[in-house]
Amino acid sequence: MMDSQIMTENPLLLPLNKDKTVYDGFITVQERDFRIRISLPPGHQLKQAKLHCCWQLKRLLSGYQPILKQRLHHAPDLVSFILELKTVLELAMRSRPDCQTIPPPQYYSQLITEMQSLGWDKLLFIDSEFRTLKLQGEDSAGRKHILTVKLKPNYPDEAPECVADLPFPFLMSWTPQSTLAHIHGRFLLHLEGLAEFWSALDEIDEQTWVLEPEKPSRADAMRRIAIGNNVSIKVEIDPRHPKMLPDCCLLGAEHVVTPLRTKLNANMHLWNPDCSILQNMRDVLEIEFPSPSTHEKSSLSAECGICYAYRLESAIPDQVCNDPRCGQPFHQVCLYEWLRGLPTSRQSFNVLFGECPYCSKPITVKMAVQKA
């Protein structure tokens, strides 16, 4: 009865002797056959069974030996053990995609034909396995961009994975007839659609002091721009509508920020979609932004009054004493750490109420987020 079950579930695994202590043949997992030989002691105890695996199987199962040993000890019979072995194998194959078969020769010939029609000058890089390509594209303003294409072994039946430094994921519809030239053409279209967005950001990056991100990538649509000492504006530009009024958030002490916010609200109707974002912000806020040609960055990026650094890990001092005569900036972590140790501080929900360490005027800080 057990033999027939082994036979039906593993038709390629056969007993080699009359005592049925040696089985040899193949087990099939995910349409792949693996050679295996199982030797049992005369009493057929599974605990003392020996497995001989082909090298592919050995490689896949390396690291799983303790699990297999345990399964071998607990399995009631050979059938259930083989079932367990297959489950483990399936798991191992899933976590080891590199064990997949290498692509057929057509894969390479097709790749070369496609690259020839696209032009080798577009290829910046290819890895030694011919799986990952980096293609170059240029937008109308002459900015260079890179598209990373990861080909699947069954390319072109399966769509390749495309990654680029864009504000949104690079998507395209894929058919088995699509080629690298299609991908590249689509990429250029994306770049063209974003050229205006990047021009707006380039203007900001060149003419103002950007406090955040420290080193903006082409995907970053956010800029925190310095306005004055400890005052800045955070704008989130819509990549699809780069000339429209962006999401704005003014940061700094209340007494400086409030008049700016009032102006922003009062002049919002003056926003002119034909002008650049920077020009519009100047007009609406009625200010000139400090620029690298007129100001030193150190005069704008005031350090935290507690740790004396501007950047603490990646955080910048965004807590500011609201007293106009003080205006001392702090990192949230630093201010929280100081206030929480003081007997004079009071806590209400996740907000600490204490005194500014510089001017002793009331100051509040939200609880520090615990990093894992």
Partner 1 sequence: MQRSTRLKRELQMLTTEPPPGISCWQSDDQIDDLRAQIVGGGNTPFEGGLFSLEVNVPERYPFEPPKIRFLTPIYHPNIDNAGRICLDALKLPPKGAWRPSLNISTVLTSIQLLMAEPNPDDPLMADISSEFKYNKKVYLEKARSWTEKHAVQRNYGQVKSGEKAPEVLSKDSSRKREPLKEQPQESKRVCL
Q: Tell me which residues touch partner 1 (CB under 8 A).
A: 303, 305-309, 312-313, 328, 334, 337-338, 341-344, 357-358
**Beta-strand relationship, 123-126 and 50-53:** unpaired
At its nearest, how many Å lie between partner 1 and the CB of residue 212? 19
d(CA 172, CA 186): 7
Tokens standing for residue 311:
């950047």
d(CA 151, CA 155): 6
Answer for the pair 354, 336: CB distance below 8 angstroms, yes or no.
Answer: no
d(CA 266, CA 284): 8
Residue (of 136, 219, 144) closest to 180 by Cα position? 136
At its nearest, how many Å lie between partner 1 and the CB of residue 215? 20
How many angstroms separate the first and last alpha carbons of the chain? 55
Tokens standing for residue 47:
């605990």
**Beta-strand relationship, 210-212 and 222-228:** antiparallel
At its nearest, how many Å lie between partner 1 and the CB of residue 251? 22
d(CA 277, CA 298): 25
d(CA 193, CA 205): 20
At its nearest, how many Å lie between partner 1 and the CB of residue 371? 11
At its nearest, how many Å lie between partner 1 and the CB of residue 226? 21
Cβ distance to partner 1 smaller for residue 57 or 356: 356
d(CA 254, CA 78): 75
d(CA 237, CA 140): 20
Answer for the pair 244, 167: CB distance below 8 angstroms, yes or no.
Answer: no
d(CA 251, CA 263): 15
At its nearest, how many Å lie between partner 1 and the CB of residue 309? 4
At its nearest, how many Å lie between partner 1 and the CB of residue 52? 55
Residue type, 116: Q
At its nearest, how many Å lie between partner 1 and the CB of residue 302? 13
Cβ distance to partner 1 smaller for residue 15 or 357: 357
Cβ distance to partner 1 smaller for residue 207 or 319: 319
DSSP 99: G
